Structure 1
């Protein structure tokens, strides 16, 4: 859960300002950024797992849940930026211009104007990133070695024994309990968003 929440927070910190810049400014650098976002979506984070592992090992974050988040951050931030660009483009530019005329800085425009208006997009990003990080198998498998720190998918995999041997009772119980958390998070976020829209 810590891993998923950390990935969500880091993704939103990167995706919201980047989406605002890409949606509002059209020049060569934003076209290059959009191209890199598309490449990151196609390629994913597993391509850079070796440099990420070496970097995390050098700063002492290899066997921690906090260290697993940067590996998932590449594809999740790309998806987050891509989703939020569409929501930002639907906001009239006049709202932001009026805030700037009133003396608001770019961060104040983002925080007080853009973020409240793209709240459905933020909920979408939270749901997508949560499900991607919750179901991620390969990054935690490579970066974690202590069984106490395993994510849900790695813990489920540990119920598989040698070929043909499965602890089916423990596997089914753990799988059932692990599915309840994503449904609870989805339901809570969707109910909160639905209440605000009505």
Structure 2
């Protein structure tokens, strides 16, 4: 009886999580008249794929998705390259600056984006990086870096020091130990950090709104915002179809790295 209750609670929780996605799918399959009807049910009466065609053709969703993917992958690589040695130094070296550095990492996560966007825009304009995917990539990487540092510190702290000391006794330097011993053991943590960084960049809207003006460089969230008209009129069917298509890569990525992510989260439970 207890196990049946657990399964029932798990099924209810999964249904709660899946309901927004199912509602989005239902809205994407409904024709405009059915979406506007007050008595419209959960399931579409006359399913149609016209909303998907509208989202792909008129909004150029494929180009926006490609731009988002380019920015997300480049930002993820930058974050991993910068955060791995920095997190290793914060986790392993005991200095007076460590509490200050950790405190600054936490404080930087509390800054409202609206406070930094104007200085950020002025700095990028001086370097000619406004309306550039390179500039947007740098911004996404900088914004995700504190969280990546905080995550990787926990994973590195869970790795036994004895393995590193054995490598140092064999004559390896710190960089060799980091590359040959720590990095392979840190693979689950790197996967988890990469996933959160990529998803954060994929969904980011505000920085892209401020920095990107060229229609050929817009990202996916900016393109989805176009389905809301100037007077607040929403093209609900096309918006639902576009949002559903934008969600599919995230779901596929989660499914691909689920096992590594689970082991990474477990290994990230710090020992002190």
Whether TM-score is above 0.5 comes out as yes
Q: 1:161 to 1:36 in 2, by over 3 A?
A: same
Number of residue pairs aligned between Structure 1 and Structure 2 = 197
Give the whole-Å Cα distance in 1 for the aligned partners of 2:248 and 2:186: 28
Q: Which residue matches 1:56?
A: 124
Task: Show CA shifts across 1:81-133 (max 9, x none).
Answer: 10111111111111111112222222211111111111111111112111211
Residue 251 (structure 2) pairs with residue 183 (structure 1): yes
Q: CA deviation at 1:44?
A: 5.5
Contact between 1:45 and 1:75, CA under 8 Å: does it hold in 2? no
Match of 1:124 in 2: 192
Give, in whole Å, the separation in 2 of the partners of 1:190 and 1:86.
19
Relative distance call for 1:157 and 1:47 in structure 2 (3 A) is: same
Say which structure, 1 or 2, has more relative contact order (CA 8 Å, 6+ apart).
2
- Kept in 2, the 8 Å contact 1:95–1:113? The answer is yes
Structure 2 spans left out of the alignment, 5+ residues: 1-68, 265-272
- Which structure shows the higher helix fraction? 1
> 1:115 matched to which residue of 2?
183
1:18-29 → structure 2 map (5 Å cutoff): 18-29=86-97
Q: Is the 8 A contact 1:38 1:78 kept in 2?
A: yes
Aligned to 2:82: 14
Note the aligned Cα RMSD (angstroms): 2.1
Q: Which residue of the other structure, out of 212, 227, 232, is the alignment partner of 1:144?
A: 212
Question: In structure 2, what is the Cα distance between the partners aligned to 1:149 and 1:129?
Answer: 20
Deviates more, 1:102-111 or 1:135-144: 102-111
Q: Secondary structure at the match of 2:231?
A: coil
Higher Cα radius of gyration:
2
Q: Mind listing any 5+ residue stretches in structure 1 that lack a counterpart?
A: none
Query: TM-score with structure 1 length normalisation?
Result: 0.90
